[in-house]
């Protein structure tokens, strides 16, 4: 009897030890998962900050090197690049994050190769248009357009590679290629300036060449080259997603640009300057929002079996973190003494003060909506986000026109804040319903098995098309 009791005791002790080991392993996995998420989030912020800083310093250096007309020409070229890159994100970059972040490495490389092929084609089309206008025009603008035309395909490909690394969960690699771009960009730029070259075409070309070097580095790191054949078929298979992403970008750009043009028309140029100054002061929050979106969307999309509770928790975590940061930053700006504000921001401070409270509320409302927006995009509910923005656009313009007419810059700023706040509950409600599975029937799983099989077969028929095996 005593032996039986001892045997039972040993069994209980062993089971207890096993449970303790299991609990410790579970805790270890949870800690490792959290550390991994924190690292990926941190690298996203570093990369977005590096990219924004590089672009800002580029504009400053060029502005100090050339005359006003030449800088205007460079700005036009940079604007065209920005529009082209945004279209590339809608057509290629975001679909990679939403539909392919959970792919195996080989399938992911196939998707990136196809996506890069689409980007090259789009860049070539935009480049041809730039070259046509460059030939028809003359002077500094023609030189800048011709320089952009030469480099635009790989300028766009470099940005798509950044998005691909975000989708892969390797924001550190995105930071690497952006670092290569920034270093090469300023090395070439300062070499030209040191040599006494002030031609805006050559200065623009140096920026484009830096992006080419960065894109080549990204292709080497990912072991993937553009695949031009079959690229448009790849886009066609996910057109139900890309059409809403592209429409949403076009709608957002149109509303923003039209609103910006209305402020000086309905008010004064001083009003437009005040609003712009306030937006510039809040610019760091835009960098963080971009980083949060680039981080959260692929993290959500690679977990399609995440339960409703976990989805709502993830959405709340993104919104909570962004809101806390936004509140802290806006509070610091509001409490900043005038002398310190002028010292830090120069002449922009005086105009920005009149709109800072309203734009601060707008920033906090946007932060609260960041989680719902990331959740819906990560689930592939681009149709919902497009419709919400479709509702928001007329609300914004309907408030902006009378607000600017009656109150100038403060009226315009409060129109932005009110429109963002009014639409926020609808974003939250729609995202919660999506997290609970109400819109599962609308989630388009557009990359079918047959499509992936066709891509693999085409890739195996001719390895020169792009994807190289190996890690």
In-domain check, residue 13:
no
Q: Does residue 436 fall inside a structural domain?
A: yes
Is 253 found in the same domain as 225? no
Distance CA 314, CA 371 (A): 8
303 lies in the same domain as 376? yes
Q: Supply the pLDDT for residue 319.
A: 94
The pLDDT value recorded for residue 237 is: 84
Phi, psi (degrees; rounded to nearest 5) at 250 = -60, -40
Confidence category of residue 12, pLDDT binned at 50, 70, 90: low
**Structural domain contains residue 20:** no
Answer with the one of 206, 237, 268 that is the final residue of a domain.
Answer: 237
User: In terms of domains, do 251 and 233 share one?
Assistant: no
Is there a single domain that holds both residue 131 and residue 170? yes
> Domain for residue 467, yes or no?
no
Pick the more confident residue, 12 or 190.
190
Range of the domain at 215: 40-237
The reply to whether 215 and 263 lie within a common domain is no
Are 202 and 97 in a shared domain?
yes
pLDDT for 344 equals: 67
Mean pLDDT of the chain: 82
Please check whether residues 435 and 342 belong to one and the same domain.
yes
Same domain, 279 and 208: no
Supply the pLDDT for residue 219.
92
Residues in the chain: 471
> How does pLDDT run across 43-64, given as a tens digit for each residue?
888 888 888 888 878 887 888 8
Residue 18 has pLDDT above 60, yes or no: no
pLDDT at 13: 54
| pLDDT for res 336 | 84
Of 299 and 348, more confident:
299
Residue at which a domain ends, from 216, 237, 258: 237
Same domain, 232 and 261: no
Closest by CA position to 376, among listed 321, 439, 320: 439
317 in the same domain as 176: no
pLDDT of 11 above 80? no
Residues near 360 by beta carbon (within 8 Å), at least 6 away in sequence: 282, 326, 330, 333, 334
Here the tokens at position 144 are: 């800048």
The domain that holds 153 is classified in CATH as 1.10.357
CA distance 157 to 336: 42
Looking at the fold, whether 275 and 383 belong to one and the same domain comes out as yes
Q: How many domains does the chain have?
A: 2
Q: Per-residue pLDDT tens for 168-201?
A: 888 899 999 999 999 999 999 899 989 888 888 8
Give the mean model confidence (pLDDT) for residues 383-404. Answer: 90
Q: Is residue 22 part of a domain?
A: no
pLDDT digits (tens, 9 = 90+) for 283-310: 888 888 888 888 888 888 888 888 889 9
Query: Rounded to an integer, what distance in angstroms lies between the CA atom of residue 31 and that of residue 36?
Result: 9
403 in the same domain as 383: yes
User: Of 237, 259, 274, which one is at a domain's C-terminal end?
Assistant: 237
pLDDT in tens, 440-456: 766 655 444 445 555 55
- Mean pLDDT across the stretch 326-349? 82
pLDDT at site 405:
87
Examine residue 283 and state whether it is found in any structural domain, yes or no.
yes
437 occurs within a structural domain:
yes
What is the spatial distance between Cα 153 and Cα 123, in angstroms, rounded to a whole number? 4
Give pLDDT, residue 257: 66
| Angstrom distance (rounded) from CA 189 to CA 204 | 9
Nearby residues of 440 by Cβ (< 8 Å), 6 or more positions away: none
**Residues 352 and 408 sit within 8 Å (Cβ to Cβ):** no
For residue 15, is it within any domain?
Answer: no
pLDDT more than 70, % of the chain: 84
In this predicted structure, what is the pLDDT of residue 450? 47
pLDDT of amino acid 443: 66
Residue 339: burial class (beta carbons within 10 Å; 0-12, 13-18, 19+): exposed
């Amino acid at each position: 009897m005593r032996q039986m009791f001892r045997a039972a005791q040993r069994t209980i002790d062993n089971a207890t030890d096993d449970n303790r080991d299991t609990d410790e392993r579970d805790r270890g996995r949870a800690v490792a998962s959290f550390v991994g998420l924190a690292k990926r989030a941190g690298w996203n912020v570093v990369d977005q900050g590096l990219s924004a800083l590089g672009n800002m310093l580029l504009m400053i250096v060029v502005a100090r090197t050339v005359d006003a007309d030449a800088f205007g020409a460079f700005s036009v070229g940079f604007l065209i690049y920005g529009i082209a890159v945004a279209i590339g994100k809608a057509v290629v970059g975001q679909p990679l994050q939403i539909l392919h972040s959970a792919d195996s490495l080989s399938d992911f490389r196939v998707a990136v190769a196809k996506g890069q092929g689409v980007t090259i084609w789009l860049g070539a089309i935009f480049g041809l248009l730039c070259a046509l206008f460059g030939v028809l025009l003359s002077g500094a603008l023609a030189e800048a357009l011709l320089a952009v035309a030469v480099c635009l395909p790989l300028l766009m490909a470099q940005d798509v590679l950044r998005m691909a690394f975000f989708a892969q969960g390797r924001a550190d690699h995105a930071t690497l290629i952006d670092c290569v771009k920034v270093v090469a960009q300023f090395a070439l730029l300062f070499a030209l300036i040191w040599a006494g070259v002030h031609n805006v075409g050559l200065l623009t070309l140096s920026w484009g060449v830096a992006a080419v070097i960065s894109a080549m580095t990204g292709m080497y790191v990912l072991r993937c080259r553009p695949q031009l054949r079959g690229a448009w078929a790849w886009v066609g298979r996910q057109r139900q997603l890309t059409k809403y992403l592209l429409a949403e970008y076009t709608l957002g750009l149109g509303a923003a640009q039209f609103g910006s043009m209305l402020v000086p028309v309905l008010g004064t140029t001083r009003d437009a300057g005040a609003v712009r100054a306030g937006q510039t002061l809040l610019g760091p929050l835009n960098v963080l929002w971009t980083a949060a979106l680039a981080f959260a969307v692929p993290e959500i999309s690679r977990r399609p079996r995440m339960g409703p509770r976990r989805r709502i928790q993830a959405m709340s975590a993104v919104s909570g973190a962004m809101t806390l940061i936004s509140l802290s930053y806006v509070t610091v700006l509001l409490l900043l003494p005038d002398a310190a504000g002028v010292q830090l921001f120069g002449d922009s401070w005086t105009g920005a003060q009149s709109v800072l409270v309203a734009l601060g509320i707008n920033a906090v409302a946007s932060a609260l909506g960041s989680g719902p927006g990331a959740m819906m995009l990560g689930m592939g509910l681009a149709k919902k986000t497009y419709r919400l923005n479709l509702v928001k656009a007329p609300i914004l313009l309907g408030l902006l026109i009378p607000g600017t007419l009656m109150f100038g810059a403060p009226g315009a700023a409060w129109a932005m804040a009110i429109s963002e706040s009014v639409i926020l509950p609808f974003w939250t409600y729609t995202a919660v319903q999506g997290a609970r599975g109400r819109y599962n029937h609308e989630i388009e799983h557009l990359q079918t098995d047959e499509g992936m099989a066709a891509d693999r077969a085409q890739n195996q028929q001719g390895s020169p098309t792009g994807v190289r095996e190996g890690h």
